[in-house]
Amino acid sequence: MTKRKGVSMNKIKNVFRLYFSLKLSQRTIAKSLRLSLGVVNKYIQMAEQAKLPWPLPDDTSDSDLLSLLQPAKRIVAITQPINAENKSIDLAQIHCELKRKHVTLQLLWEEYLIAPPGEKSYYSYSQFCRLYNAWRQKQSLSMRQIHKAGDKLFIDYSGDTVPINDRLTGEIRQAEIFVAVLGASNYTYADATWTQTLPDWIGSHVRVFRYLGGVTALLVPDNLKSAITKFCRYEPNVNRTYDDLALHYDTAILPARPLRPKDKAKVEVSVLIVQRWILARLRNYQFFSLEELNTAIKKLLFEINNKPFKKLPGTRYSQFVSIDKPALKPLPETDYEYAKFKIARVNRDYHVEIDKHYYSAPYLLVREEVDVRWTSNCVELFHNGQRVAIHRRSTLLYTHTTCDEHMPKSHQHYAGYSPESFLDRAMKIGSQTRRVVQNILVGKKHIEQSYRAAQGLLRLAKNYSPERLEKACDLALAIGSPNRRSVLSILEKGLEQSPLEQEEAKTDSVKKPPHENIRGSDYYTSSTDKENTHVTTTHSTTIA
C-alpha cells in the first residue's frame, strides 16, 4: 500500500458520514476508505470532543470544519492582508527574509514568538510553515524557488539582436544582447557585444562582476558553445578559459541541464523583461556604434532595476542592496584577463611554439607535453599542474625567448653570445680577423660549436697580440684555410712575421694543394705534357 503523507478533507468527511449516518464500525470504515484504524479513531475522537453536529450545515467550509475540530488553533485566511501589530504574519516579508544567507523558517518562527503579542495565542511552527507554503504556492511560478542571497547568477543571451549601422561603409551589423540576473533580488544586467564567441562572453562576465561590485557563489549559464564544450546532463565539460575565469573570481560554474528551462527560469524571465522594456523601446532608434547602444541600454536598465515590484515590497535595486550585495564575495584586485589554452610538446631545442614565437621550457622536459596558458601580456607553461616557466608575451615572429636557467649548463656559457657580438669583437682587432670569424660562424652545424671556435680564435689575441692575430688571419685567408687551427699553427711557427715566408706561402698555396684531400692543378696535367717535361729535363741535363 502506498504511504500517504496526509488525509484529505473529503476522506475526513466520509469518515464522519460512515460513522454517524451509517453507523459502521471503525474497522469497517478503515477498510472501506483504505485508512489505518488509528487515523479513523483519531478523527472520530476529535469530532466527539468538539461535539461536531451531523449532518454539517451546507455552508460549512473546510476551514470551518478544521476550526470546529481544533478550537485551540487558529487558521488565518491567506488571502487577507496580515497585520504585524496583532500578531499576524507578513508572508511576503518572510519570503524575502528566507533569501538571506542561513535564514530558515525555524529561525523566523522563533523571532515571531519573541515579538510582543497583540493577542494571547500564537501560531505553532507547523501552522507557521503551512501558512507560508500555501501562500508561496499561490504566487507566480518564477517565485516557487527560493534563491539564497549571493548564491547564483543566471546568464544567457537574449536571442534578439539590435542592428548597428557603420557610418563609413553603410554596412549593418547585428549586436548580441547579454543578460544576467541575480537569483535572490532579481537585479538585472545587460550589455551588447558583436558576437557570442568566447572573448565577448568572457568580456561580458568581467563587466557584470564590475557592475555588481562582487561575485556570486555560482554561475548558471545556458549550454552555449562559448561556455560548455560538451553537453551532458550530469558532467558537462566547461571551456578551459571559462573555467579559468571562475578560478580567478573564486566562483563555480553550474550549467543548466539541457532541455530543462526551469533550471534557468530566472534568466528566461529577465530576457523577456529586457526584450520588452529595453529592446522594444529602442526599436525606432538608429545606432552607429556599440558604445551608443550600450549607453542606451544602461539608461533603460536603471529604470528596470528601480521599478517597484507588483507583489513584493521594494524594487530590484533595493532588494539587491539589502539582500544580495552584502552576501557577494569581494572582487579580486584585478579584472580577469582573457587567456587561451593548449597542450604543446617541448621540442629538442627546449622551446614551445605559441603564435609563431618560441618560448623556452626547462631542458629536462624535452619531448614532454606541457599545458600552455597565454594572454596578451604573458605566457605560462605548466607540467603536472605546476608552473614551470613564465615569459613576457612577444609579438616578434619566428624568434626565441629563452631563460638561462632553462638551458643545459653547456649551453648557458654561450647564452649571452650572438653572431653579431663575435663579429664586433673581431672587427676591433682587424678586418681579416672578422672575415675568419665570419667563416667560422657559418661553417659549423650547431651554433654552440661555432661560438666555441670563434671564442678560441679571439683569445689568441691575448697570447700573441692583436697585431700578430690580424696578420695570421690574413695569411690563413690567403692559403684558403680560414679556421682556428690554421691561424694557431701560423702563430706558433711565426709565419706571419716574415714577409718572404708569407709570399712563399702564398705561392705554395697556388702550386701545392692546401689540403691532402684536394688534388691540385698538377693532377689535371696530361700525361703527354708530363713526358715532354721529363724529356726536356733529361735532354737539358745531357747537354749540360
The CA distance from 151 to 98, in Å, is: 13
Note the pLDDT tens digit of each residue in 434-491: 999 988 888 655 565 577 788 889 989 988 999 999 999 999 999 998 988 899 999 9
The DSSP bridge pattern shows strands 357-360 and 351-354 to be antiparallel
pLDDT digit string, tens, across residues 81-115: 333 333 567 787 887 778 776 678 888 887 777 76
Question: What confidence score (pLDDT) does residue 210 get?
Answer: 94
The residue with greater pLDDT, 517 or 464, is 464
Query: What are 218-263's pLDDT values in tens digits?
Result: 888 876 655 555 444 434 456 788 888 988 998 888 876 554 555 5
What is the predicted pLDDT for the residue at 83?
37
Dump pLDDT digits (tens) for 173-232.
999 999 999 888 889 999 999 998 889 999 999 999 999 999 998 888 876 655 555 444
Given a cut of 90, whether residue 535 has pLDDT beyond it is: no
Q: Which amino acid, one-letter code, is at 383?
A: H
CATH H-level, domain 152-327: superfamily = Ribonuclease H-like superfamily/Ribonuclease H (3.30.420.10)
Element (H, E) at 16: helix 9-16
Separation between Cα atoms, residue 145 and residue 365, nearest integer Å: 52
pLDDT number for residue 511 = 47
Strands 172-182 vs 152-157: parallel, antiparallel or unpaired: antiparallel
Sign of CA dihedral 532, 537, 540, 541: negative
359-368 burial, b at 16+ Cβ within 10 Å, e below that, comes to bbbbbebeee
Q: What are phi and psi of 163, to 5 degrees?
A: -75, 140
Q: Where are the domains of the chain?
A: 9-69, 84-139, 152-327, 340-412, 419-523
At 286-325, the pLDDT tens digits run: 899 999 999 999 999 999 899 888 777 789 899 899 888 9
Rounded to the nearest 10°, the torsion over CA 160, 166, 170, 175 is -10
Identify the three-state secondary structure at position 287.
Answer: strand
b/e map 203-239, b = 16+ CB within 10 Å: bbbbbbbeebebbbbbbbbbbeebbbeeeeeeebebb
The more confident residue out of 292 and 132 is 292
Residue 183 burial (C-beta neighbours within 10 Å; 0-12, 13-18, 19+): buried
